[in-house]
Amino acid sequence: MQLNRLIDIASGKDIMSKQELENKTQKKIHWYVYMQIKNMTEYKSKIMSTPLTDFEQILNYTQREKKGMVSKIYAILLSCLKSTDLPCQSKWHQDCNTEKTQEKWEEIWSSSIFTSKVISIRLQTFKIIHRWHLTPKRLSTISSSCSPLCWKSCNEVGSFSHCWWGCPLIATFWKEILEVIKQITSYDIPLSPSIIFLDQWNIPQIPKAIRNLIAILLVAAKSATASVWKLKKVPTKEMWLSKTWDRFILDKINDNILNAERFPARSNFYDKWFPFLEFIDMHDLHPKIRIAQTLTQFSDIW
């Protein structure tokens, strides 16, 4: 007999005995495997009493119906679209101290897609919006052996907002990066989670190319923060410059492939990246090759 859920091996509030389970499955079960199953079910007693969901009923071999199965699966998937709010949205509302409409969230999803064509940049943005990174506070709820305190040794609870911008050490890093971004783009970006992490701008009449550059610079800063996520080490300006340069190379390759060779007039790569390259050259901060060599390569794009 096929077993699909814990409820299939339940016997009252406990699981079947080893002999009953062997008789039901017609297979020999090692005593150690049985003890593992028994120990796990002690912490999942609620799951054993939970009825099958519609999707589980379709997947259940004993209740599978050959006719109309595809239609039932589509109906279940379409019903998920009726729920417009994701769990991460309510948490962002709490962190930002504001309620965002569904239209605002549509703008957030769109901006995370169209900021760059590079998949790694999009992925980093999606991870943060969906609050993918595990924090000390969350890990402490999973395992009692984990401390809920911040990994940067500031002796405060390491919640999501604290780890990304609330920690004093991380806040100092963000202030330094935002000051450099102001020098590069001439735009003052406040330390606001709505702007930095959700791309909700309150700056009127900002050029599209500069806005895309700021978004990539912020993604690089978030990537630098994530690279030392579980360490006491704090991200630095040099790490941020290195992350930004890696994204510049990826964006340049992507632009050469998608735009420059076929539609050079549509490429805004030079307009977007020139302020950053000019800043690197002015402060002699070029991480890999001389800025003059890079600028000469723009002739290949145009």
Specify which of 1-10, 45-54, 133-142 reaches the highest per-range mean pLDDT. 133-142
Residue 83 is predicted with a pLDDT of: 56
Place of tokens 């632009």: 255
Q: Report residue 89's pLDDT band, with 50, 70 and 90 as the boundaries.
A: confident
Does residue 130 sit in the same domain as residue 271? yes
Q: Tell me the one-letter amino acid at 173.
A: F
- The pLDDT value given to residue 289: 39
Token look-up 């499955």 returns: 25
In a domain, 135, yes or no: yes
* Predicted confidence band of residue 297 (pLDDT cuts 50, 70, 90): very low
Question: To 10 degrees, what angle do helices 269-282 and 168-185 make?
Answer: 110
Burial of 213 (0-12, 13-18, 19+ CB in 10 A): buried
14 and 122 together in one domain: no
The rounded mean pLDDT for the chain is 79
pLDDT on residue 288: 43
pLDDT band at 70 (very low <50, low <70, confident <90, very high): confident
Length of the chain: 302
DSSP-derived secondary structure for the chain: ----SGGGGEETTEEPPHHHHHHHHTS---HHHHHHHHHHHTT-HHHHTPPPPHHHHHH-GGG--STTHHHHHHHHHHHHTT----HHHHHHHHHHTS---HHHHHHHHHHHHHS-S-HHHHHHHHHHHTT-S--HHHHHHH-TTS--B-TTS--SB--HHIIIIISHHHHHHHHHHHHHHHHHHS------HHHHTT-----TT--HHHHHHHHHHHHHHHHHHHHTTTSSPPP-HHHHHHHHHHHHHHHHHHHIIIIITT-GGG--HHHHHHHHHHHHHHTT--SSS-HHHHHHTHHHH-
Digit-coded pLDDT (tens) for 237-263: 888 988 888 888 888 887 777 765 555
- The total number of structural domains that make up the chain: 2
Last residue of a domain, one of 36, 56, 80: 80
Please indicate, yes or no, whether residues 139 and 271 belong to a single structural domain of this protein. yes
- Please report, for residues 3, 4, 12, 30, 106, the alpha-carbon distance to residue 19 in angstroms, rounded to integers and kept in the order given: 16, 19, 16, 11, 55
pLDDT band at 280 (very low <50, low <70, confident <90, very high): confident
- CA diameter of the chain: 78
Q: Domain range holding 96?
A: 87-301
Question: Does pLDDT of 1 surpass 70?
Answer: no
Pair 166, 285 in one domain: yes
In a domain, 150, yes or no: yes
| pTM: predicted TM-score of the whole model, two decimal places | 0.67
In tens, the pLDDT along 142-175 reads: 888 899 999 998 899 999 999 999 999 999 999 9
The confidence band for 298, taking pLDDT boundaries of 50, 70 and 90, is very low
Is residue 269 located within the same domain as residue 290? Answer: yes
Instruction: Give me the mean pLDDT over the 138-143 stretch.
Output: 90
Q: Is the pLDDT score of 60 beyond 70?
A: no
Q: Are residues 279 and 199 in the same domain?
A: yes
pLDDT of 228 higher than 80: yes
What is the mean pLDDT of the segment spanning 178-204?
A: 84
Which of 256, 243, 247 is closest to 212 using CA atoms?
A: 247
Q: What percent of the chain has pLDDT over 70?
A: 77
Average pLDDT value for residue range 164-187 = 93
pLDDT-based confidence at residue 71 (cuts at 50, 70, 90): confident
What would the mean pLDDT of 193-216 be, rounded to a whole number?
81
Mean pLDDT within 123-144: 89
Q: What is the mean pLDDT of residues 170-195?
A: 91
Question: What is the number of other CB atoms lying within 10 angstroms of the CB of residue 219?
Answer: 26
pLDDT band at 18, cuts 50/70/90?
confident
Q: Same structural domain for residues 242 and 173?
A: yes
Shared domain check, 264 and 141? yes
